[in-house]
Structure 1
C-alpha cells in the first residue's frame, strides 16, 4: 500500500508543476481535504484550506508564477502517510521582493500527505524559502 501511495504523491507533485488549471489537481484530493500551510516567508500565519480554498489558491498561484519545478530529494512512506522532501523553484510572473518578473524563488519543502481511499485527506506543508526581500 505504501508504494502505491508514494506513487500517487509523486504523480501529484508532477501535476503541480505542469498543471494548466486547478481542476487537474482535484482528482488527487479527498472531498474532505484539510491542507495546512505553516507560517513561512510568504504565508505569515498558519493557513488551513479546504477543497474550495485549494482551488482558489491554485488559480492565484498560476497568476504569480510562470513556471514551478519540484525536485524530489527523498520520500518516506508508512501506513497511510507519505512525506516528500523537495526543492521547489518558481519562476515569477510578477515581481516579489527584490526578484523581478522572470526571476526565480527557491524553497525547501517537507510535505506530509495522509491518504484515505487513495486520495489526499490531510496535507501539511513546511516551506522554507530562500531570502528574497
Structure 2
C-alpha cells in the first residue's frame, strides 16, 4: 500500500508540473481533502483549503505561472503518509516582486500527503521560496 501511495504522489506532482488543474485533479484527491499551506513569502498566514478551494487555487496559479516543474530530491512512504522533498521552479507569466514576466521563481518544498483508498485526504505544504521581494 505504501508503495502505491508513493507512486500516486509522484504522479500527482508530475501532473501538477505538467499544468493539470481544476477538475483534472479529481483523480488524486478525495472529496473530503484538505490542504494546509504554512506561511511563506507568498502566503503570509496559514491557509487551509477544501477540495473546491484547492482546485480554484490551481486554476488561479496558471494565471501567474506559465510553466513549472518539480525535481524530487527525496521521498518517503510511511503507512498512509508520503513525504516528498522537492525543488520547484516556475516561469512567471506576470511580474512578482523584483521578478518580471518570464523570470524563473524557485522554491524548496516539503509536502506531506495522507492517503485513504488511494486518494489524498490531507496535504501539508511547507514552501520555502527564494527571495523575490
Q: TM bucket by the smaller chain? A: over 0.9
Counterpart of 2:54 in structure 1 is 54
Aligned residue in 2 for 1:63: 63
Q: What is the distance in 2 between the residues matched to 1:21 and 1:81? A: 23
Corresponding residue pairs, total: 133
Aligned to 2:83: 83
Distance 1:21 1:57 in 2: 9
Q: Report the Cα offset of residue 2 of structure 1.
A: 0.8
Work out the CA distance in 1 between the residues paired with 2:13 and 2:77: 15
What is the root-mean-square deviation of aligned Cα atoms in Å?
Answer: 0.7
Q: Which runs of 4+ in 1 moved over 2 A?
A: none
User: What's 2:45 paired with?
Assistant: 45
Query: 1:96: how far off?
Result: 0.2
The answer for unaligned runs of 5 or more in structure 1 is: none
TM-score, L = length of structure 2 = 0.98
TM-score of the aligned structures, taking structure 1 as reference length: 0.98
Q: Which residue of 2 aligns with 1:33?
A: 33
Aligned equivalents of 1:85, 1:23: Cα separation in 2: 25
Does the CA-based 8 Å contact 2:19-2:68 persist in structure 1?
A: no
Unmatched runs of 5 consecutive residues or more in structure 2: none
